[in-house]
Amino acid sequence: MRVAILTLLAALAFAAGALVPASLASAQDDPPERRCAALMACESWEINHAYTVQYENGCGANCSVSYWVRDPGDGRVLVSVTGVRSATVAVRGLNRESHPDVRIIAPRYGPMDARCCPAVIVDTRYVWDAGEAALVVSDERVIPTGQADFEVLHEELRDQGYTIYSDAP
């Protein structure tokens, strides 16, 4: 009985961890270390505009992409999305002093989702909080995967003045 309860608690803890959205802002994720030499296939780049946007796409046993949006002044990671199959990062404007909005469109996996097939795509908008000197979540839109059309989402971003960094189709 005790083993069954411990197993159930472990499964619940794992499921709760799996529900953490991939697109949450995190200053805890380190910027990319150039891991390409250790992977079968890898691509990485960095662009400096309003923020420093870093990208890495790597394949070992599985392929995944990661983005880091960093403060160009002190190098802090302001927001990131790591280890997902596909994502879009978009920045509204190129002026560093204005601390423009950032949008991340990325999969959110539920506890029963296979690695290939997230239940939803989440479009999260981050805005600058001067008091915290950080990007914070302003709002998010949850889109069922079957209704997510990246072409339409990217057009919407362009219409709103965002520069798009994306590996999504």
In this predicted model, what pLDDT tens digit does every residue of 18-61 receive, in sequence order? 333 333 334 444 555 556 666 667 788 889 989 999 988 888 77
Measured distance between the N- and C-terminal CA atoms of the chain, rounded to whole angstroms: 49
In this predicted model, what pLDDT tens digit does every residue of 93-121 receive, in sequence order? 888 888 999 999 999 988 998 878 899 99
How many Å apart are CA 74 and CA 31, to the nearest integer? 12
How many Å apart are CA 75 and CA 114, to the nearest integer? 34
Percent of the chain with pLDDT over 90: 45
pLDDT value at residue 163: 93
- Could you tell me which residue, 138 or 26, shows the higher pLDDT? 138
Helix/strand/coil percentages in the chain, nearest 5: 20, 40, 35
For residues 83-99, give the mean pLDDT.
88
pLDDT value at residue 38: 67
pLDDT band at residue 12 using 50, 70 and 90 as cut-offs: very low
Number of other residues whose CB lies within 10 A of the CB of residue 54: 21
Does this model's pTM top 0.85? My answer is no
